Amino acid sequence: MSVTKNDTAVLKNFINGEWVISASGQTLDVPNPATNELLIKVPVSSKEDVNLAVAAAKESFRTWKNVPVPKRARVFYKYHHLLTENHEELARLIVQENGKAYKEAYGEVQRGIECVEFACGAPTLMMGETLSGIAEDIDSEMFRYPLGVVGGITPFNFPMMVPLWMFPLAIACGNTFVLKPSERTPILANRLAELFAEAGAPKGVLNVVHGAHDVVNGLIEHKDVAAISFVGSQPVAKYVYERAAREGKRVQALSGAKNHHIVMPDADIEKAVQHVMSATFGSAGQRCMACSAVVVVGDNEAFVAALKREADKLNIGSGMDEEVLLTPVIRKEHRDKALGYIEKGLEEGAELIRDGRKEMSDLPKGNFLGPTIFDHVTPEMTIAKDEIFAPVLSLLRAQNLDEGLDFIRRSRYGNGATIYTNNAKAIRKFREEAEAGMLGINVGVPATMAFFPFSGWKDSFYGDLHVNGKDGLNFYTRKKMITSRFDA
Q: Which residues are catalytic?
A: 288
User: How many H helices and E strands in the chain?
Assistant: 16, 22
Instruction: Give Dmax (Cα) for the chain.
Output: 85
241 contacts: CB under 8 Å, gap ≥ 6: 230, 251, 253, 462, 463
Residue (of 473, 398, 460) closest to 430 by Cα position = 398
Output the CA–CA distances (angstroms, integers) from residue 61 to 47, 54, 147, 207, in the order listed.
21, 10, 10, 12
Residue 326 near residue 335 (C-beta atoms within 8 A): no
Dihedral angle computed from the Cα positions of residues 63, 64, 69 and 72, in that order, rounded to the nearest 10 degrees? 130
Q: What are phi and psi of 258, to 5 degrees?
A: -145, 90
Dist. CA 116–CA 166, nearest whole Å: 10
| CA separation for the pair 174, 49 (Å, rounded) | 23
Query: Do strands 225-231 and 291-297 pair parallel, antiparallel, or not at all (unpaired)?
Result: unpaired
- DSSP code of 264? -
Q: Please, are residues 207 and 53 in contact by the beta-carbon 8 Å criterion?
A: yes
Up-side HSE of residue 153: CA atoms within 13 Å toward CB? 30
- Side chain identity, residue 33: P
Helices 69-85/187-198 angle, 10° precision: 130
**Chain center to CA of 474:** 19
Identify whether the C-beta of residue 182 lies closer than 8 Å to the C-beta of residue 153.
Answer: no
The Cα 417–Cα 443 span in angstroms is: 10
- Locate all alpha helices (DSSP H) within 368-485, ordered by sequence: 382-385, 401-410, 424-433, 469-475
